[in-house]
């Protein structure tokens, strides 16, 4: 069963509003779009792309006024870039408001936001009352799609609708820009040139990186680490050895509960063994145990199926200090 390809904005809006995914055209590449405020839709993006980790997603909005509803602040230099280059191939990394889920940002407190330039997608965004999370519409590790047919060839059996906006103008992902210690930083080179950016804000810092995700978290093995040490292994053995040493510990498990462990010092990601639920709960569970009085968090890996791979990726990074 292949996807339907067409130019019906009303149909695309209806599918997105009901939690489905739709491939959308932008001036950079085609995106695999879902409601950024719907965790189920966001999880479907990761599953459909077979993304091996919860890399942060960029959210697409209709204009800078809508952006302000989802971020805490826009520093002056980034505001200047937005005024100059939006709509266009520029993503700004900004402090997020709580309504943007940790699943979208991979537990980071910043979110990548962009106002795309493609006329069809702009019309679509004006029909919606929510932003769209939309990484490139291809399985992880494949070449990014720049036409509706590319999406059909790679993901056609997994999305109901591809909004056909013709060939992408730019064919290269957006440039990702943020601020660190008052300095404008480029996290990913892309469709807005360094020269154009520097013509507005002066000299910028370009971070060397090989990963495409905003804030380049994939580069830092321990980027997702809680403040407390997190130890991965066989839970029964870890619990026994830490109990003997008299260390106060918290337990993060896939399904199990531990009767001798205080309830505030344990978290089962999904008692029913549901991988989607476990993924939804991962970041909040780590935060809850990190703010407990435990000295260390003991955790176990999940089976390497479904979203288990992505969850394990995050747990390994959190334990990599």
Q: What share of the chain is helix, strand, coil (3-state, %, to 5)?
A: 35, 20, 45
**Is 224 part of any known ligand binding site?**
yes
**Is 134 part of any known ligand binding site?**
yes
Is the bond preceding 78 in cis, omega lying within 30 degrees of 0? no
Residues in Cβ contact with 82 at an 8 Å cutoff, skipping those fewer than 6 apart: 64, 67, 74, 90, 92, 115
194 exposed, middle or buried (CB, 10 Å; 0-12, 13-18, 19+)? middle
**Is 174 part of any known ligand binding site?**
yes
**Is 105 part of any known ligand binding site?**
no
Beta bridge mates, 253: 268
Residues in Cβ contact with 104 at an 8 Å cutoff, skipping those fewer than 6 apart: 36, 42, 56, 57, 59, 111, 133
**Is 267 part of any known ligand binding site?**
no
Distance CA 52, CA 312 (A): 9
**Is 144 part of any known ligand binding site?**
yes
Beta bridge mates, 94: 111
Residues in Cβ contact with 211 at an 8 Å cutoff, skipping those fewer than 6 apart: 55, 217, 218, 219
**Is 223 part of any known ligand binding site?**
no
In degrees rounded to 5, what are phi and psi of residue 268?
Answer: -95, 125
111 alpha carbon, distance to own chain's centre: 8
Point out the annotated binding site for ATP: 51, 110, 136, 144, 188, 224
Point out the annotated binding site: 28, 51, 60, 110, 114, 134, 136, 144, 174, 188, 224
Point out the annotated binding site for L-threonine: 28, 60, 114, 134, 174
């Amino acid at each position: 069963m292949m996807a339907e390809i067409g130019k019906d904005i009303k149909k695309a809006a209806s599918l997105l509003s009901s939690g489905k995914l739709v491939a959308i055209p932008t001036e950079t590449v085609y995106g695999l779009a879902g409601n950024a405020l719907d965790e189920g839709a966001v999880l479907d993006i990761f599953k459909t792309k077979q993304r091996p980790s919860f890399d942060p997603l960029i959210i697409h909005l209709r204009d800078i006024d809508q952006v302000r509803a989802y971020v805490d602040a826009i520093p002056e230099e980034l505001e200047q870039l937005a005024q100059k280059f939006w709509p266009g191939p520029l993503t700004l990394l900004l402090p997020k408001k709580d309504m943007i889920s940790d699943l979208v940002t991979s537990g980071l407190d910043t979110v990548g936001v962009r106002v795309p330039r493609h006329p069809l997608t702009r019309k679509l965004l004006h029909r919606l009352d929510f932003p769209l999370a939309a990484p490139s519409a291809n399985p992880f590790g494949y070449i990014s799609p720049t036409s509706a047919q590319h999406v059909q060839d790679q993901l056609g059996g997994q999305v109901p609708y591809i909004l056909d906006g013709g060939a992408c103008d730019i064919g290269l992902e957006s440039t990702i820009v943020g601020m660190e210690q008052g300095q404008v930083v480029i996290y990913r080179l892309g469709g807005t040139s360094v020269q154009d950016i520097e013509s507005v804000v002066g000299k910028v810092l370009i971070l060397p990186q090989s990963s495409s995700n905003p804030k380049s978290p994939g580069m830092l093995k321990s980027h997702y680490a809680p403040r407390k040490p997190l130890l991965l292994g066989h839970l029964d053995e870890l619990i026994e050895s830490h109990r003997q040493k008299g260390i106060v510990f918290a337990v993060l498990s896939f399904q199990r509960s531990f009767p001798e462990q205080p309830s505030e010092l344990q978290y089962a990601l999904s008692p029913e063994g549901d991988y989607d639920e476990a993924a939804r709960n991962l970041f909040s569970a780590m935060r809850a145990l990190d703010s407990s009085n435990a000295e260390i968090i003991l955790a176990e890996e999940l089976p390497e199926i479904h979203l288990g791979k992505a969850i394990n990726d995050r747990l390994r990074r959190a334990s990599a200090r």
